[in-house]
Amino acid sequence: MAVARFYHLTQDAPEGLLPLLIGKAQEIGLTVALRGVAEARMAALDQTLWRLEGFLPHGLAGGPHDADQPVLLVWDARPAPDLPNRPGCLIALDGAPVEAGEAQALERLCIVFDGNDPAAVQAARDQWRALTGAGVAAEYWRREGPRWACAARHPATAES
């Protein structure tokens, strides 16, 4: 079962953190699903990821090779195990939903939210409560200077 890692962005756009998170997952051999809430947002992110320095192979859901993508950008709420690339890591953006049952099937779960948007902060708090209330361990990460640091942990508990 994955620990839900919440990344509180206050200085950077998600595009600055995503290569790091994706790279860490790929280092341990995981495929990745990057889940947003809107197709247009994910299409724009697809273009941004192709323009980044370095090579980050990925695909936008709906293509003929979705099952072969090491990183698949999606905007639906299908559980991660049901996604074509069978991700071991799910990265949720923009308040994309994540169910506690998904965490059980994943090795890594990252929830990235905009700390400068009160609605996004509230949505992340709601997700934290829902996931930890269902017994999923959670960590709160924030940037401290150039590094990311875990500032809080909630242990896994028996499902209520």
Rounded to the nearest integer, the mean pLDDT of the chain is 91
- In a domain, residue 16? The reply is yes
End-to-end CA distance of the chain: 16
CATH number of the domain at 92, please.
3.40.50.10110
Q: Is residue 160 part of a domain?
A: no
Cα four-point dihedral sign 84, 85, 88, 94: negative
What confidence tens digit (pLDDT) does each residue in 37-86 have?
Answer: 999 999 999 998 888 767 788 999 998 999 999 999 999 878 887 899 99
The yes-or-no verdict on residue 148 having pLDDT over 50 is yes
Residue 143 tokens read as 């940037």
- pLDDT value at residue 160: 42
Per the structure, how many domains does the chain have? Answer: 1
pTM of the model: 0.93
Contact present, 143 and 12 (Cβ < 8 Å): yes
Please check whether residue 108 lies inside any domain of the structure: yes
Domain carrying residue 121: 4-154
In a domain, 159, yes or no: no
